[in-house]
Chains A and B, each alone.
Chain A
């Protein structure tokens, strides 16, 4: 029974940790499927985290915070679009520029608004997404197995966790079952064909980037107003890049991408529990080094896996064909 509880709590931690990854990866999916490479997921998430916390702190409203986060992220996505769609700029350069700009801008704005070295004040409970308890969760908590599954794993998360996991089937449906999705995939594979059919390539790509912005905005708001209660500089801590890794690992398809995010989330949850799990005091030399280093090795595993994937060791990852190439109409 204890082992079962352990597993449930591990899975619970995995869900919590993978939420920003899932949201950012779905965001990246829309953008990359439309043919726009998005290195700037990290920056958009960070910008949204700041906007959500700042507006949350100023107004005391969680919804205005979320809205501000989404707006900030969409604005950054539009900037990316303006550079790469309207002006055919290099998409990687634009993405990197957004990351660097946001890392600095959030701190500068933070100092200007709150004079706390770029931090926002602690958010009150009304300005945060707090855990939702499902009906009857308390009552069934003692029922073996199913009770724990219901009360620990399903109930007791904040709203954005559910939003993240609903975003996956929604993304799948939009990409594979709607006219918009068909055009989105087409514009990422063969923009000439879409153009010939009389559909605006630029219009499609801008619309995809708006969706990217919205999802990244929710991911950012999750970091600063759900998982913690303030913004500190660089708080996205590389999650945008891990989401990008998951996107490649899941081969740009919603469900495999979500599974990759869950895998990376599981690794992070495991790394937290592996630390100190071994009795290193009795080990010596090399073994001791390896055992102490193991949890930190797990932290870089997502990137190692992606390198292996790209090197062709675990299947192949084929990006959308037109990804990264600005579309220029032939004259």
Chain B
């Protein structure tokens, strides 16, 4: 009874407040390490926020985290200054957000890549394994040696989910294919070490790989560069990275964080923002693969047909893609 009353009271306050929200939505975003110009994950969010600003004329504020402790500071500062909604970018902001969101129950927070179970938090996660499966299919079809590589950023479950989906995609086409996997490091610095990323990619080329998939934020730039220098193929991640080295980037695994960020602000402005968990996969167009002028010469009609078919099969449930974080094992 008490709970219903409270709920009703909360709903009433929300209703009263919502009228003003529509006009004075004050959006903010806290980028994570790697920075908003990582040409990948953070930059995707940045693009989405920019699009919102351009379309609506509502300005947003942003902050870039460069040290562990800043996540909580920035989130709290934005909440204190009345920013709403606030986007927390990346899994690493989970613990900080949990604290801050409890302190500011009236501020709407959205977190990307992590689930924070609080009534004022919207958690947006992606089925990266499904998108990675598709680029794995493309990698296996493009590879002449039957050996492909994967370079991850920080060694965490999320990145292993990319790796595992990719491996499944590769093996789907060529069961005997070899998949070399490297993680750059175990600290957040691993998102921003292109020199090491390039070296890891070279070590995979040395072993015969001719396509390498980078899921490593800023580190991935070094991977793509190394592939271009060595005359091999690479696969970008999160944002469309095909344009970075036309003719060398086979495709990019798109994770539409730009759409997610845009929708957070848009729904907040329309007052349709809802707390809870959103899981975006192939069916929701939350993940996918990139085809544009820069890589159309690398993708044959056969590859296109196969990957389109596989995509449909995954959506229809005919192909089940194992999610690494379900059991912390890449068993399929």
Most buried by B among A232, A268, A296: A232
Contact check: which of B155, B195, B206 meets A235 at CB < 8 Å?
A: B195
Task: Determine whether the beta carbon of B203 is less than 8 Å from that of A269.
Answer: yes
A131 to B231, CA, bound (A): 13
Are B185 and A299 in contact, CB atoms less than 8 angstroms apart?
yes
- Pick the residue among A235, A275, A276, A296 that contacts B194 (CB under 8 A): A235
The segment out of A9-17, A166-174, A249-257 that lies at the interface is A9-17
Residues of A within 8 A of B221 (CB): 228, 230, 232
Which chain B residues border A228 with CB–CB below 8 Å? Answer: 194-195, 198, 221-222, 225
Cα-based distance from A235 to B203 in the complex (angstroms): 20
- Complex CA–CA separation, A272 to B221 (angstroms): 18
Can you list, as one digit per residue, whether each of B194-225 has a CB less than 8 Å from chain A (1) or not (0)? 11101110110011000000000010011001
Q: Note all chain A residues with C-beta closer than 8 A to B206.
A: 9, 12-13
Q: Which residue of B lies closest to A10 (CB)?
A: B206
Known: A16-B199, A273-B203. A117 touches B181 (CB 8 A): no
Q: B268 at interface (Cβ–Cβ under 8 A)?
A: no
- Decide if B265 is an interface residue (CB 8 Å cutoff): no
B64 neighbours in A (Cβ, 8 Å): 117
- Interface flag for B331 (CB, 8 Å): yes
Instruction: Give the residues from 157 to 191 in chain B that come closer than 8 angstroms, CB to CB, to chain A.
Output: 180-183, 185-186, 189
Who on chain A is nearest to B189 by CB? Answer: A237
B192 with A233: CB separation less than 8 A: yes
What's the Cα separation between A122 and B195 when bound, in Å?
Answer: 14
A272 engages B203 (CB within 8 Å):
yes
Interface residues of A in 152-184 (CB under 8 A from B): none
Cβ contact of A13, chosen from B185, B199, B218, cutoff 8 A: B199
Are the CB atoms of B200 and A281 closer together than 8 Å?
no
B291 at the A interface (CB under 8 A): no
Interface pair B199/A232, CB less than 8 Å apart: no
Q: Does A118 contact B (CB under 8 A)?
A: yes
Q: Which residue of chain B is the closest to A299 with respect to CB atoms?
A: B185
* Alpha-carbon distance between A269 and B196 when the two chains are bound, in angstroms: 10
Q: Does A246 reach chain B (CB closer than 8 Å)?
A: no
Min CB distance A280 to B, Å, is 9
Query: Are A237 and B196 within 8 A (Cβ)?
Result: yes
Does B280 interact with chain A (Cβ within 8 Å)?
no
Tell me the A103-131 residues at the B interface (CB within 8 Å).
116-119, 122, 130-131
- Given A122-B244, A276-B182, does the pair A117, B35 have CB atoms closer than 8 Å? yes
Task: Select one of B37, B182, B189, B198 contacting A117, CB under 8 A.
Answer: B37
Find residues 54-79 in chain B having any chain A CB closer than 8 Å to their own CB: 64
Nearest-CB residue, chain B, relative to A114: B37
| Cβ-closest chain B residue relative to A222 | B195
Q: Are B181 and A233 in contact (CB-based, < 8 A)?
A: no
A296:B186 contact, CB within 8 angstroms: yes
Interface 1/0 per residue, A213-254 and B, CB below 8 Å = 000000000010001111011110100000000000000000
**Alpha-carbon distance A223/B202, docked complex (angstroms):** 15
In the complex, A230 Cα to B244 Cα: how many Å?
Answer: 12
| Contact (Cβ within 8 A) B330 A272 | no
A50 to B194 CA separation, bound complex (whole angstroms): 14
In the complex, the answer to whether B331 meets A281 with C-beta atoms within 8 Å is yes
B229 cross-chain contacts in A, Cβ below 8 A = 130-131
Most A CB contacts (10 A, CB to CB) among B192, B195, B199, B202 go to: B195
Contact B225 A229 (CB under 8 A): yes
Q: Does B238 contact A (CB under 8 A)?
A: no
Which of B35, B36, B182, B244 lies in contact with A272, CB distance below 8 A?
Answer: B182
Q: Please report the C-alpha to C-alpha distance between residue A16 and residue B36 in the assembled complex, in whole angstroms.
A: 30
A-B contact pairs, 9 of them (CB 8 A): A13-B199, A118-B37, A223-B195, A228-B198, A275-B181, A281-B330, A292-B155, A296-B185, A299-B185
Give the top 9 A-B pairs by smallest Cβ distance, nearest first: A117-B37, A9-B206, A272-B203, A117-B35, A276-B181, A116-B37, A275-B182, A228-B194, A272-B200
Known contacts A233-B35, A272-B203, A276-B181, then 6 further A-B pairs from the complex at CB < 8 Å, ordered by chain A residue = A117-B37, A237-B189, A237-B196, A272-B199, A281-B329, A299-B185
